Amino acid sequence: MEAKTKEEINQLIKNLEHPDKDVQDKSANALVEIGDPAAELLMECLRYTEAENAVYLKVAHILSKIGNKKVVDLLVEKLMDYNWRVRTAAAIAIKEIGDARVIDPLLQVLFKDDRRDNRDYAAIVLAEIGKPVVEPAIRALKDKEPDIRVRAARLLGKIKDSRAVKPLSEVLSKDENYDVKMVTRRALEEIGVKIE
């Protein structure tokens, strides 16, 4: 598609609220075709509009369809935005993308970010993505940092996948850190394992 000006992209974004569904659909498809230049403006429109929830869902869907590395990085960044509309749309789009392109950056936020609220948002989205997150979270149970092991165990408990039972059981029996053991016990219970 030929390059669009900022004004043309903004008009397509405004058309997402048009009463005619055909206009909405054509605008959404055009925004997907435009790709990167539309992504940042789509995220910005969420910050300054009082649009209906349906528009946020459309924006999230468009962003997930664009879904290249630049958009994934933008979505992970916007997951930490101060504006709840932006965070919500980013979370929905990340969940729709749901593959390794979003898992690795989100795990970095979960395990390395200094801000607890950022880690919490990452954990929520990772838990919703579910099964593709299990193996990297299991690997993180072996990290030398107790905080990372705690976050990995907590995440596995939220996902509730049976593949995590054996590795969590090993952590429970062998890890010497009290916090790691307590969170691991809780994670196993969330998965449905009865602990004596």
Say whether pLDDT at 47 is over 80: no
**Mean pLDDT to the nearest integer, 109-121:** 86
- The residue written with tokens 């049976």 in the block is 162
pLDDT number for residue 111: 92
Say whether pLDDT at 51 is over 60: no
Please tell me the distance from the alpha carbon of residue 105 to that of residue 89, in angstroms, as a whole number: 17
The helix (run of H) or strand (run of E) holding residue 13 is: helix 6-14
Q: Record the pTM.
A: 0.72
pLDDT, one tens digit per residue, over 53-84 is 677 778 888 988 888 888 888 888 887 778 77
